[in-house]
Amino acid sequence: MDPKQIEELIAKGIPGARVEVRDYTGGGDHFEAVVVSEAFEGKTLVERHQAVYNALGDAMRARVHALTLKTLTPAQYAKRR
Partner 1 sequence: MADVSERIKSAIESNRILIFMKGNRNFPMCGFSAATVEIFDSLGVPYETIDVLADQEVREGIKRYSNWPTIPQVFINGKFIGGCDIVRELYETGELEPMVRAALAEGASRG
Among 11, 34, 39, 69, binds partner 1 (CB under 8 A): 69
Contact call for residues 73 and 56 (beta carbons, < 8 A): no
- Residue 55 burial (C-beta neighbours within 10 Å; 0-12, 13-18, 19+): buried
Phi then psi dihedrals of residue 22, to 5 deg: -130, 135
The answer to whether residue 5 forms part of the interface with partner 1 (CB under 8 A) is: no
Minimum distance from residue 8 beta carbon to partner 1 (Å): 19
Distance, in Å, from the CA atom of 81 to the CA atom of 65, rounded to the nearest integer, reads 29
Among 29, 50, 63, 75, binds partner 1 (CB under 8 A): 50
The answer to whether residue 34 forms part of the interface with partner 1 (CB under 8 A) is: no
Among 18, 23, 60, 77, binds partner 1 (CB under 8 A): 60
Binding site for partner 1 (CB under 8 A): 45-46, 49-50, 53, 60-61, 66-70
